[in-house]
Amino acid sequence: FHASASLQRLAVGRALWDESYTFALVRNPWARQVSMFHFLLSSVSCSKPRGQRPAHCDLRMLPEAGAWLQQPDEARRRFRAWLLDMASAFPLGSAKQHLFGARSHGNEHDAWYNASQLSWMVDASGALLVDDVFKLEELERVWPRLQKRICGLARVAYSDGGPRRNPSSHAHYSLYYDDKTRALVAKYMQADLAYFGYRFEKADPTRSV
């Protein structure tokens, strides 16, 4: 489920991979980091106390979960500290730089695997291995296209199959960053910004968060 495209192709075989329809989803890198932080600490195994939670929670420098997650100012402070801690532990160019963006999931088998989302879907030469890449922010618009290509989605409405199944509750991602941490994510995710055209967006003051 969390394997890179190259490892999935290796698992199913080149012939079957080439004849199948393949796609990937990406999202705004700054939003992804905030969502991941809240999701891991609120909804899954990293919500447990230290000593009871899996080793990967400590490996990726996550703070211990607590009531502070519901306190916006404190959540933002700890989020920024988390990014800085990871950057110190997993610097750009190091063998573990991917941990800034995601767990290993076995994908460290690919020498080019790093913190970017793009590294999940290319081969050693940088060639894209999937037929399509869709932005999560545009999923509703492209849903009909996916329905045409994937028989299992043909009769599934976007409202039933498209919305997030693992949501996290937090304010707009831009409110979590200061200049230093915003630039830090940009450095690690430069490939995503260049390839997918993502930009740092400000919160819309007319909408609630």
Predicted confidence (pLDDT) at residue 113 exceeds the cutoff of 90: yes
Q: What is the CA radius of gyration of the chain?
A: 18
Residues 4-13: tens digit of each pLDDT: 999 999 999 9
Q: What is the pLDDT of residue 165?
A: 60
Q: How far apart, in Å, are the Cα atoms of 131 and each of 17, 97, 174?
A: 10, 27, 31
Q: Which residue is listed with tokens 């933002």? A: 76
pTM of the model as a whole: 0.91
For residue 32, count other CB atoms closer than 10 A to its CB. Answer: 20
Residues 147-174: tens digit of each pLDDT: 999 999 999 998 887 666 656 678 999 9
